[in-house]
Amino acid sequence: MEFISASDLGRYGYCPLSWWLGRTGEVTSEALEMGDRKHGEISRSLTAIKSQEQKAKGWEILVIVFSITATALASVGLSLLPVANAQSWSGYLGFISILWILAAVFMLIRANAVEEKESAFYRKLMVVFAIVATLVAINSISVLGIDPEAALVYEIIALLWLISACVALYFHIVASRKARTEREEIDIEGEIEYIGKDHSRLLRSNKYGLSGRPDYILEMDGDQIPVEVKTGRIPMGPLFSHILQVSAYSLLLSEENGKRVPYGILKYENTEHEIEFSDELEALLISKLREMRKLMETGDVHRNHNREGKCRNCSRREMCPERLA
């Protein structure tokens, strides 16, 4: 069985004859080339966002590791103090340090769960708590009036690890800010799960003989949501052909994950539409696939409309024997 692509399904929804001409002949136009360039720009932006977010997560892990290690080293230094009741003192001060570092970790997690304006406040608190955690251990030496070399070495190393935590935090903030800026420019929410490039994984349904690569897939409230971006003119509302294409991606994802996709997203330049993947839309999609397969057998394909404007905007107009304009 020959597979039908989601983009071909969209072209068929626009005009069966336009779809057929696209199958049997090479079609190029300025509009198509511009669309390819814009999709390339979107793909590069999404890749940059994903890369920066991965870097931010990596730096975040380093912040926690450095901070906890700094506290551990400081606590070990305290345990080496040769004074009366040294074990009790080190236990008390170590417990206090751990409380501060746990507070620092909580603030870091909180910073990543809130909006950018609030996030800066929590990150500052995280740095303060991490510094206090180590200073409690370092100052305990002077408080106890003891300055053994071994303990001092541990405290110095702890301070160096804390400095490393602050450096890691700085790079974490930089990467997060870059990713957030890129997100605002192309207006997306949710975690980017997939980017549709030429070498990206092709979604396939053996049951329906359907395949396709959405522009990207987002993780939204536990669901994978396909997104299709359309360039060029902006219609008053979502076009039927575009709805078919988005529903095809929803069907592919539903079958692949074993969980029905609630909706897909159709984006024009400055507007966005949620296309509910209802039972009625799925039935319509499957019926269109059957129609296409019958036409692929007979080859008897014709224009299905009488709209001059539609023909005028068609990239296959010049080679169409039934064009109206």
Could you tell me the two tokens for 137? 């251990």
Helix pair 149-186, 30-79: axis angle to 10 deg = 160
Domain boundaries along the sequence of the chain:
4-44+191-319, 49-186
Q: What is residue 154's predicted lDDT score, i.e. its pLDDT?
A: 66
Q: What is residue 142's predicted lDDT score, i.e. its pLDDT?
A: 46
Residue 117: CA atoms inside 13 Å, Cβ hemisphere, count? 0
Contact 181, 96 (CB under 8 A): no
b/e map of 260-287 (b: 16 or more CB within 10 Å)?
ebebbbbbbeeeebebebeeebbebbee
Helix pair 116-144, 30-79: axis angle to 10 deg = 20
CATH of domain 4-44+191-319: 3.90.320.10
Across the chain, which has 325 residues, the per-10-residue mean pLDDT values are 88 87 67 71 84 84 75 63 53 59 62 55 61 57 52 69 76 83 82 84 92 91 90 84 94 92 90 92 94 90 83 78 79
The structure's pTM equals 0.72
Q: What is residue 20's predicted lDDT score, i.e. its pLDDT?
A: 87
Angstrom distance (rounded) from CA 285 to CA 264: 14
